[in-house]
């Protein structure tokens, strides 16, 4: 039999994600979450006899957008099919889905794990509708059909993943792309991005796939990780003990971090698919596909790579700046408006270290990545317009105020986004207060930017003193008191000389 290390895991993921359309996939009911139960329903999504579905073009557009971003081939002709099964939250007795001819097939998503790049093949992305929801309360169950008919795409990977960590990386990448493209809100708690994990194990070196178990509807990255880890261990243990893994659907229990059977053994489950007689084939032309292609903005990964290679930012900064689309947009806006005046690296520092940190302090984020808090921070951030923030940066970079004062001003700006940096500086007399420090900073900058002159000065070329004064005055935009500059410069040079000897 051997031990654990002789076995490897094989994982394939099925992801369902809700599309950000205004209306449902086949009727004009609003696509909403969390409203009064059964308040967004009509004869079509209630499945009343005689009601006819109509394809939501916006849903098709978003599906095609996602497919293109995931390198999945678009099929110009695809078909809708009925997937038949009985469930109380499915009044029609079938779900409209795509089966034999999906809207797109054969793609991949590149995932970085352990520093190496791996292409995870994607079998297909197809369009379907969500079912309603059962609400269990005490001994009763209720049916809410608001979700019935919500547009979904299902994205099915090939079994190319080989660890829980890899699976999570794939999901994070996938989700990030969908959210960036505004195809989906990616909200896992609300179920708009959910995953079924298919897991099997086999002896290393074996080609044949083992029997898989499917873990249904895992709704957080952490749970996916735990569920897959547990499942791999369970299956290897069974195999090592001479048993056989059965093909079944399992549920993850987040209290115990284990999985347990949900439905009995599924023979190839028979949904009796057949072509949806109430809908025509979906035909897409080059023009439509071309238009959708044009609407695809730069993806996060490409952004990160650009930030590192073109803007010379660290991986850390690139990551922080691209994690959220709004932050990236803000940063790029800043670069545009800056128009080469301040080094991009410095702009990045301002955003990552000062602005985001400032937001954290006033929204008391403190701890990382609480979605609500981050969202609040971002809405505040976009309130402090990039041009206003840039004004502040320039005030500091030109030496008008020092960095500490800059941060004070920034906090003021965050509290009251309508206030301009200059206004705050003037009102609170900040430029005056920081004068000494400000001048000293400018002096230090002028001297370090002119090392040759400095050397010549120390070698006896006294005339250069006037040159330094001129530079300091220029840099402080004439605001500095010339007498003070003279005094401070002399003192500074003295101390340099002493320090140098």
Residues that bind ligand ADP (CB under 6 A): 10-14, 156-159, 198-200, 209-210, 212, 214
- Residue, CB closest to ligand ADP: 12
Backbone angles phi, psi at 413, to 5 degrees: -65, -40
Residue 423 interacting partner from Zn ion, Mg ion, ligand ADP, none (CB closer than 5 to 8 Å by kind): none
| Residues 6 or more apart in contact with residue 383 via CB below 8 angstroms | 417
Question: What is the three-class DSSP state of 463?
Answer: coil
Pick what 158 binds: Mg ion, ligand ADP, Zn ion, none; C-beta below 5 to 8 Å, kind-dependent: ligand ADP
Nearer to Zn ion, 65 or 147 (CB): 147
By a kind-dependent CB cut-off of 5 to 8 A, residue 102 interacts, out of Zn ion, ligand ADP, Mg ion, none, with none
Closest to Zn ion by CB, 29 or 413:
29
Closer by beta carbon to Mg ion, 14 or else 58: 14
Token pair in block for residue 288:
């439509």
Q: What are phi and psi of 372, to 5 degrees?
A: -60, -45
The pairing of beta strand 248-253 with beta strand 213-218: parallel
Interaction residues for Zn ion, span 155-184 (CB under 5 A): none
Nearer to Zn ion, 102 or 151 (CB): 151
Nearer to Mg ion, 128 or 317 (CB): 128
Stretch 12-71 residues interacting with Mg ion (CB under 5 A): 14
In 429-481, which residue ranges form alpha helices assigned H by DSSP? 430-433, 435-449, 451-458, 464-475
500-to-394, 452, 456, 465, 489 alpha-carbon distances in Å: 32, 15, 14, 18, 16
Residues recorded for the chain? 501
Smallest separation (angstroms) from ligand ADP to the CB of 61: 25
209 binds, among Zn ion, Mg ion, ligand ADP, none (CB under 5 to 8 A by kind): ligand ADP
Partner whose binding site includes residue 42, from Zn ion, ligand ADP, Mg ion, none (CB under 5 to 8 Å by kind):
Zn ion
DSSP annotation of 246:
P
Among ligand ADP, Zn ion, Mg ion, none, what does residue 156 contact (CB within 5–8 Å per kind)?
A: ligand ADP
Work out whether 148 is an interface residue with Zn ion (CB under 5 A).
no
DSSP state of 4: G
End-to-end CA distance of the chain: 76
- Closest approach, Cβ 248 to Mg ion, in A, equals 12
**Which residues lie below 8 Å from residue 474, measured CB to CB, with a gap of 6+?**
none
Binding to Zn ion (CB under 5 A) within 20-79 occurs at 27, 29, 42, 44-45
Contact 400, 425 (CB under 8 A): yes
| Nearer to ligand ADP (CB atom), residue 209 or residue 246 | 209
Bridge partners (DSSP) listed for residue 134: 143
In sign, the C-alpha dihedral spanning 59, 63, 64, 65 is: positive
Count of residues binding Zn ion (CB under 5 A)?
A: 5
Using an 8 Å Cβ cutoff, are 72 and 104 in contact? yes
CB atoms within 10 A of CB 491: 12
Find which of Zn ion, Mg ion, ligand ADP, none residue 12 binds, CB within 5 to 8 Å per kind. ligand ADP
CB of 135 to Zn ion, least distance (A): 19
> Which of Zn ion, ligand ADP, Mg ion, none does 327 bind, CB closer than 5 to 8 A by kind?
none
CB-nearer residue toward ligand ADP: 10 or 63: 10
The structure tokens listed for 455 are 């050397």
Q: Which is nearer to Mg ion, 1 or 268 (CB)?
A: 268
Give me the 2-21 binding string for Mg ion, x by CB under 5 A, dash otherwise: ------------x-------
Nearer to Mg ion, 14 or 158 (CB): 14
- Strands across the sheet containing 81-84: 94-97, 81-84, 274-275
Residue 482 to residue 101: CA distance in whole angstroms: 79
308 and 302 Cβ atoms separated by less than 8 Å: no
Which residues are at the interface with Zn ion (CB under 5 A)?
27, 29, 42, 44-45
Residues that bind Mg ion (CB under 5 A): 14
């Amino acid at each position: 039999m051997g031990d654990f290390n002789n076995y490897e895991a094989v994982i394939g993921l099925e992801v369902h994600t809700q599309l950000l359309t205004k209306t449902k996939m086949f009727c004009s009911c609003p696509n909403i979450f969390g409203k009064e139960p059964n308040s967004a329903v009509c004869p079509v999504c209630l499945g009343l006899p005689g009601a006819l579905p109509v394809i939501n073009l916006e849903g098709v557009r978003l599906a095609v957008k996602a497919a293109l971003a995931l390198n999945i081939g678009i099929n110009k002709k695809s078909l809708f099919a009925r997937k038949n099964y009985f469930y109380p939250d499915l009044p029609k007795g079938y779900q409209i889905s795509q089966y034999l001819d999906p809207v797109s097939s054969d793609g991949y998503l590149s995932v970085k794990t352990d520093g190496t790049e791996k292409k995870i093949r994607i079998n297909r992305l197809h369009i379907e509708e969500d079912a309603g929801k059962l609400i269990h309360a005490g001994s009763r169950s209720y049916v809410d059909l608001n979700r019935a008919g919500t547009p979904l795409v299902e994205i099915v990977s090939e079994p190319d993943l080989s660890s829980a960590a890899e699976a999570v990386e794939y999901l994070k990448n996938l989700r990030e792309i969908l959210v960036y493209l505004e195809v989906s809100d990616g909200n896992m708690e609300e179920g708009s991005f959910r995953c079924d994990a298919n897991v099997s194990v086999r002896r290393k070196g074996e080609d044949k796939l083992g029997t898989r178990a499917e873990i249904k509807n895992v709704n957080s990255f952490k749970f996916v990780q735990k569920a897959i880890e547990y499942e791999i261990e369970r299956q290897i243990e069974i195999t090592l003990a001479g048993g056989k893994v059965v093909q079944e659907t399992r549920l993850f229990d987040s209290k115990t971090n284990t999985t347990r059977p949900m439905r009995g053994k599924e023979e190839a489950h028979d949904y009796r698919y057949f072509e949806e007689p109430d809908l025509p084939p979906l035909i897409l032309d080059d023009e439509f596909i071309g238009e959708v292609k044009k609407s695809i903005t730069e993806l996060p990964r490409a952004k990160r790579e650009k930030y590192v290679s073109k803007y010379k930012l660290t991986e850390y900064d690139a990551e922080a700046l691209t994690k959220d689309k709004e932050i990236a947009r803000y940063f790029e806006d800043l670069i545009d408006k800056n128009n080469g005046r301040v080094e991009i690296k410095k702009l990045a520092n301002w955003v990552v270290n000062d602005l985001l940190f400032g937001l954290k302090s006033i929204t008391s984020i403190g701890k990382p990545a609480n979605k609500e808090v981050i969202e609040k921070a971002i809405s505040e951030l976009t309130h402090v317009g990039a041009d206003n923030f840039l004004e502040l940066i320039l005030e500091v970079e030109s030496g008008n105020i020092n960095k500490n004062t800059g941060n004070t001003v920034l906090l003021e700006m965050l509290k009251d986004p309508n206030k301009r940096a200059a206004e705050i500086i003037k009102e609170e007399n900040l430029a005056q207060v920081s004068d000494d420090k400000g001048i000293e900073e400018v002096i230090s900058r002028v001297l370090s930017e002119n090392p040759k002159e400095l050397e010549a000065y120390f070698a006896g070329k006294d005339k250069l003193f006037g040159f330094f004064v001129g530079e300091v005055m220029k840099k402080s935009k004439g605001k500095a008191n010339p007498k003070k500059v003279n005094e401070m410069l002399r003192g500074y040079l003295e101390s340099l000389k002493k320090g140098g000897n």
